[in-house]
Amino acid sequence: MTRAFICGCAGLALSQEEKSFLREARPWGAILFKRNVASREQLSALTAEIRAALGTDAPILVDQEGGRVQRLGPPVWRAYPSAAAFERLGLPAEETAALVRLGARLIAHDLREVGIDVDCLPVLDTPVDGSHNIIGDRAYSRSPAEIARLGRAAAEGLLDGGVLPVIKHIPGHGRARADSHLELPVVEASRAELEAQDFIPFRADADLPLGMTAHVVYRAIDPELPGTLSKAVIEEIIRGLIGFDGLLMTDDLSMKALSGGFRARAEGAIAAGCDVVLHCNGDLAEARAVAEGAGDLVGRALERARAAKAKAPKEFDPVDGARQLDAALAAGV
């Protein structure tokens, strides 16, 4: 039976120890980073190797946003603009959305070509004055309504290309004044403020298939636990108020916003209501503990996982698409 976790791997190919771990631990999927990427041929071989070890057509994820967060990049792949770059072009709203969708469609083409079928995009966080730059230009706008609209366009571009989108970081990382990779952010905003701004993009796009939590404490909802580990945040806000009923994964459990052992982190996230836990750094000792804490993928979580299946890509000319995107970006410089 599949276990309710997603794991990373250490390098450009799987070691024998990693192959054994994948066969025994049976993660739902795997996630890749720059350390796993060298060429199209190498990356295609790695994704095939992961699926062969698992014995299933397992989902393989990556963070391919554009801008600062791009795991597949030059000189092999094109450099995509940041999310914020689209709004800065100053185009009419419909043209901006069309370009965002086109950019995501091109990303999907790149990913499907090498066996990747899930992209941790779009970022639906809303930055505010004084917040940490960890989100910054990864956000499409400072307007929640515009973030919702452009995030939807990005998701549609990925879906058209046969790649599943992941909305992140639900219910919102944009107000955080710290980088959750390094420490635990605490948001002091009232629930009314959060509902009036931060939650809006997630509510608008709550029908999308996959979501990723935020390692952020929201004092007005749960004064102690970060969203990833908080039943109040997940049940009352994410599943309730926001209405997200897709597969909910954690942000990376190895981030320093969380504390305690890795089995306990995984157990806490599953107990709080996450469907799947994410462990990214490829450390097998940690990954084994995460696998033990995550347990089997069962019940409603399994149903959501089965529902999150990428469809075949729609017909698309990537050369013409790249020409259109480049022309629009050049005109806006």
Which residue carries 């370009």 as its tokens? 99
In degrees rounded to 5, what are phi and psi of residue 179? -90, 115
Structure token digits, residue 327:
């022309």
The verdict on whether 132 is a catalytic residue reads: no
Ramachandran sector of residue 259 (left: φ over 0; alpha: ψ -120 to 50; beta: rest): beta
* Catalytic pick among 181, 207, 317, 326: 181
Q: Write b or e for each residue in 2-12: b if 16 or more Cβ atoms lie within 10 A of its Cβ, otherwise e.
A: bbbbbbbbbee
* Helix or strand (DSSP H, E) at 204: helix 200-204
User: How many residues would you count in the chain?
Assistant: 333
Active site residue 296: no
| DSSP labels, 75-93 | TTSPPPPPHHHHHHT---H
Q: Hey, how many other C-beta atoms are within 10 angstroms of the C-beta on 37?
A: 19
The one catalytic residue among 110, 125, 160, 251: 251
Strand partners, 217: 186
Q: Which residues are catalytic?
A: 181, 251
